[in-house]
Every structure is written in C-alpha cells, then in structure tokens.
C-alpha cells in the first residue's frame, strides 16, 4: 500500500564545464536528500552542463545525447544505488537536426520510467533555446512511478496554466518543474525581484488551480555570456515546494542547497472537495482556447 506521505528532495547547485565535477555535486545532493528520508529527488534543468543557450553555437549540439544514453545510464545507477526515484533533465539528440530539452524519470530500481520533452521553448536574450530545441510532441501525460504519478514539465512550461491543467486532468499527483532561470545585472534591482516573485507566484497558482503540490528546482550561480552580448545570467535558485492550496512548504535561498520536504499525498483529495475547480470547469465554453487570439 502506497504511503500517504512522501518526502521529496530538490537539489540546487551551480554548474560548471567539468561533467565529472558537476555529477559529483549532483550525487552529493541526492545522497544528502536520501539520508534525510527522500524517496523522490528533483534536479534542476539541464543539470549536466552550464546553461549553453546563452549563445547560438552549432558546435554545442555535441553536448546532446540519445535517451536512453549515458545520462540516463548514470542517473539510473545513482537511483538504484540510493533506492530513490530521480527526475533529471537532459539535452536529447532524437535524430540529426531534431534535439529536445527532455526531462527523464528514473525509477528506484534504476530503470527509465518515462520522459517528457519540453513543449514551450523560449527565445530571449541569453535564452536562445529555439536554436537548440524542437518543441516536444509528447501529450503532456504524467509518468507513473513507485512514489506516485508525476506531472513532469520543464522551466518555460511553468508559465503556462494549460500545461499544468493537462497534467492534472491526466491524473498527476505532483507537478514538478526542473528549471534554469535567473536575472541580468542590466535590470534594476526592483525589476529583478518582480521577475523572481512572478516566477514563484505563477507556479503556486498552478498548485491552487489544480489542487496539487508543486516542486520547482532551479540552479544557482553566475554563468557568463561567452559572446559578450549580455552581462550573463545569475541563476537565482530559490527552489521551493508548495501544497495544493499554494501554501509554501519550503524554499531555498540563492546558494547551493538541498531541500527536503514532506508532502501529504491525501491533501489534494481534501482540498478538491472544498474547492472543486475541476468539477466546475465549463468545458463547453473553452473552444476558443485552441485559437492563437480572439480577434
């Protein structure tokens, strides 16, 4: 019988160019979370490398790998060694000319339980993801694991209520967002804070609207722009967990950290009985959501 509670870990750290050193940091965080009781660990977006999308450089496609491949093999070994479900994020080479930003879910026995290819792809200064990533053609369905049905989405997806809702409608028990987001020194301090507040607020809103807990794991540290076109990105960390009414359960700061939080998996049932948003949806009135804009 599945437990009514689940301890989850979120591992945030800085990432450098040395893969072995980065993996050592990641595994140290996973081990820390497991020693504190975590049965599920969420890693940050593209956790194996520096955030390479700051520039458009064809040679950086060499970072991509197949799935299954070396990245999932390593994560599987770590998951099995620590008997923990791990949600990671990899640069996937699907075929020549088709690459994805892909979240992977490794079961506690080391097997690959599932994957999700990022659907919403940004294209902004220092976030040139459209150059690298093809939008995912998965149907936004959760991945079934030994710790529950995981609604895994990736970073820019976290701004879209439609993605969270589709996961909820498919029976997700938790929404998870591996993330790489930060601030530019070119923005005034008050604007930097507004952006960070908006990032957390919108995800807590998904928790409320769907009656689900949310886990968001973001990287930390400054990463320069090798082109010199921007001042680089300072990833703000602040990984957090909230409950199905958006209540904040835990939040990290802007330094490397491993959060461990206990989730009440029965709370969604109780909350949805009080706030039955899924029941009261007017599905007969939403046809125009399939339009780009209502002129």
Helices marked H in 174-234: 189-210
Name the 3-class secondary structure at 216: strand
pLDDT tens digit sequence for 229-276 = 888 999 999 999 999 999 999 999 999 999 999 999 999 999 999 999
* Contact criterion met (CB below 8 Å) for 250 and 36: no
Q: Is the pTM of this model over 0.85?
A: yes
Q: Kindly name the residue from 45, 107, 129, 223 that is annotated as catalytic.
A: 45
CA-CA-CA-CA torsion for 121, 178, 146, 112, nearest 10 degrees? 60
pLDDT band at 68 (very low <50, low <70, confident <90, very high): very high
Q: Two tokens at 240?
A: 């957090």
Neighbour tally for 263: CB within 10 Å:
24
Residue 106 makes CB contacts below 8 A (sequence gap 6+) with 72, 75, 76, 78, 79, 85, 86, 87, 88, 112, 113
Backbone region of residue 232 per phi and psi (left: phi > 0; alpha: psi in -120 to 50; beta: other values): left
Known catalytic residue at 118: yes
- Quick one: average pLDDT of 275-289? 96
Known catalytic residue at 242: no
pLDDT tens digit sequence for 32-59 = 999 999 999 999 999 999 999 999 999 9
pLDDT tens digit sequence for 151-208 = 999 999 999 999 999 999 999 999 999 999 999 988 899 999 999 999 999 999 999 9
Instruction: Give 266-273 contacts, CB < 8 A, sequence gap 24+.
Output: 266/4, 267/213, 267/243, 268/173, 268/211, 268/212, 268/213, 268/244, 271/211, 271/244, 271/245, 272/211, 272/244
Known catalytic residue at 269: no
- Which domains are assigned to the chain? 11-288 (3.60.110.10)
- pLDDT of 229 reads 86
Q: Kindly name the residue from 53, 155, 217, 242 that is annotated as catalytic.
A: 155
- pLDDT of 3 reads 76
Q: Kindly name the residue from 7, 39, 54, 118 that is annotated as catalytic.
A: 118
* Cα separation of the two ends of the chain: 52
């Amino acid at each position: 019988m599945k437990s009514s509670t689940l301890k989850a870990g979120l591992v945030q750290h800085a990432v450098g160019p040395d893969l072995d050193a980065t993996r050592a940091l990641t595994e140290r965080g996973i081990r820390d979370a497991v020693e504190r009781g975590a049965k599920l660990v969420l890693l940050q977006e593209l956790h194996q490398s520096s955030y390479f999308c700051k520039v458009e450089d064809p040679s950086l496609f060499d970072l991509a790998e197949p799935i299954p491949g070396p990245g999932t093999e390593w994560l599987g070994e770590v998951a099995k060694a620590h008997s923990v479900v791990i949600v990671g994020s990899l640069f996937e080479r699907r075929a020549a000319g088709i690459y994805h930003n892909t979240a992977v879910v490794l079961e506690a026995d080391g097997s690959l339980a599932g994957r999700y290819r990022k659907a919403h792809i940004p294209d902004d200064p220092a976030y040139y993801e459209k150059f690298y990533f093809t939008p995912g053609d998965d149907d936004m369905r959760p991945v079934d694991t030994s710790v529950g049905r995981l609604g895994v989405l990736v970073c820019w997806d976290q701004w879209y209520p439609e993605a969270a809702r589709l996961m909820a409608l498919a029976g997700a028990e938790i929404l998870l967002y591996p993330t790489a987001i930060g601030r530019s020194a070119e923005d005034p301090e008050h604007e930097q804070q507004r952006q960070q507040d908006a990032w957390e607020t919108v995800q807590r809103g998904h928790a409320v609207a769907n009656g689900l807990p949310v886990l968001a794991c973001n990287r930390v540290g400054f990463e320069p722009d090798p082109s010199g076109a921007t001042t680089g990105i300072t990833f703000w960390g602040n990984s957090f967990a909230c409950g199905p009414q958006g209540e904040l359960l835990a939040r990290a700061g802007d330094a490397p950290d491993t959060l461990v939080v206990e989730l009440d998996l029965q709370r969604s049932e109780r909350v949805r009985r009080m706030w039955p948003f899924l029941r009261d949806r007017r599905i007969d009135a939403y046809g125009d959501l399939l339009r780009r804009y209502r002129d």
